[in-house]
């Protein structure tokens, strides 16, 4: 069972949250080229190790937040500044 440390609710079972995905910085839709936009939509870093990712606390505080998780060991670490926002993955 994966316990996700929600910055607002504390540790919660992963099934209480929705995994949004890798937290990519979003290019400015006004100036990004089509290729840049598609790279943002589709390409993934997918490392076997530390990954910055976004979760949505579906049955808790209903807020989005960004965390770092090691995808090989499932440890979490807090990059979190208070109130940090999503990368806004589509």
Interaction site with another protein (CB under 8 A): 1-2, 14-15, 18-19, 21-22, 34-35, 38-39, 41-48, 51, 53, 71-74
Q: Of these partners, another protein, Zn ion, none, which one is at the site of residue 9 (CB under 5 to 8 Å by kind)?
A: Zn ion
Does residue 60 belong to the site contacting Zn ion (CB under 5 A)? yes
d(CA 73, CA 86): 23
d(CA 71, CA 69): 6
The Cα diameter of the chain in Å comes to: 42
Residue among 18 and 26 whose Cβ is closer to another protein: 18
Q: From the CB of 33, what's the least distance to another protein, in Å?
A: 10
Q: Of these partners, another protein, Zn ion, none, which one is at the site of residue 78 (CB under 5 to 8 Å by kind)?
A: none
**Which burial class, exposed, middle or buried, applies to 63 when counting CB atoms under 10 A from its CB (0-12, 13-18, 19+)?**
middle
């Amino acid at each position: 069972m994966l316990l996700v440390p929600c910055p607002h609710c504390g540790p919660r079972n992963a099934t209480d949250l929705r995994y949004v995905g890798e937290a990519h910085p979003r290019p400015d839709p006004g100036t990004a080229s089509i290729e840049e936009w598609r790279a943002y939509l589709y390409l993934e870093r997918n490392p076997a190790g530390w990954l910055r990712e976004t979760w949505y606390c579906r049955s808790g505080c209903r807020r989005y937040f960004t965390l770092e998780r090691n995808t090989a060991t499932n440890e979490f670490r807090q990059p979190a500044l208070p109130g940090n926002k999503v990368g806004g993955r589509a």
